[in-house]
Amino acid sequence: MSDQTLQHEELRVTIPRAEALATVEEARAAIDGIDAALAALLERRAAVAGVVQRLKPVGGFAGRCPDRERQIVAAMAERAPTLGPERLARIMNAVIEAGLEVAELQRRNVQDGHGRG
């Protein structure tokens, strides 16, 4: 197995087109599948954002970077034009703040000596 394969994971999701869904049950099942993928992505995003907090000179809420957040939203708006930048900004603000909260909690736990075997 290559290094690339060992150090990366692939997430495959089947996403039905909205037009293909005819019943509430079908649509809810589709939502459940999408939410499962979103949850996995959000969990991994928080872990990766935590790495950035540890590597940045000033991490956590104190090192917040509005320019970078605007870039993220603008890139996402190209892929999600129906949601658009204003709604995506609200969504991503919640996502980013949740990641920063987790990173701060983990930093405090490490400082207090919790989580050491």
Size, binding site for ligand PRE by CB under 6 A: 12
96 makes contact with ligand PRE (CB under 6 A): yes
Give the HSE-up count for residue 54: Cα atoms under 13 Å, Cβ half-sphere. 14
> Which residue's beta carbon is nearest to the bound ligand PRE?
49
Asked if residues 27 and 21 have their Cβ atoms less than 8 Å apart, the reply is yes
Which tokens is 78 given? 């190209």
List the one residue from 44, 54, 68, 70 that touches ligand PRE (CB under 6 A): 68
d(CA 59, CA 51): 10
Interface contacts to ligand PRE, rule CB under 6 A? 49, 52-53, 56, 64-65, 68-69, 72, 96, 99-100
